[in-house]
Amino acid sequence: MKIPALVMASLLAVGVSGQTTKPVKKGSKPVKKIRKADSPKTVKAEPKHVVKKDTILKYGGGCPACGMG
């Protein structure tokens, strides 16, 4: 199953340019200001070190749905 050249070209453009893919909101709903959560301390593997600060990713930035993210 070969991806059409036109689709591939657009993917290459995104990949190469590092184009930001921050989604654009369709509507202009007022955004409720939210308090950013403190980061739980997480470590990846031994030797222990902090992996990353938790970030609130609103759209398309992650999947909380497995329940252990």
Partner 1 sequence: MMPEADFVSAILPLLQNNSIDVLEWSFDTFYDTEEPSWLSGLLDFYAENDRLIGHGVYYSLFDGRWNDRQENWLRKLKEECKRRNYNHITEHFGFMNTENFHQGVPLPVPLLPKTLQIGKDRLRRLQDAVGIPVGVENLAFSFSLDDVREQGRFLDMLVEDIDGFLILDLHNIYCQACNFEIDMQDIISMYPLGKVKEIHLSGGSWQESAYGKKPIRRDTHDDRIPEEILQTLPKVLSQCYNLEYIIIERLGNTLNNDTEKQIFFSDFNHVKEIIEVSVYPNVDKENWKRAEKIYSEPVEDLLLHEEQTRLTKLLFDENNIESVKNEQFIYFKPENWDEEMIMTAQQIIKKWNPY
List contacts with partner 1 (CB under 8 A): 1-4, 6-8, 10-21, 23-27, 29, 32, 34-45, 48, 51-52, 54, 56-69
- Report d(CA 41, CA 49) in Å as an integer: 9
Minimum Å distance from CB 49 to partner 1?
A: 10
Minimum Å distance from CB 33 to partner 1?
A: 10
- Report d(CA 66, CA 69) in Å as an integer: 7
Minimum Å distance from CB 45 to partner 1?
A: 7
Task: Classify residue 60 as left (phi > 0), alpha (psi -120 to 50) or beta.
Answer: left
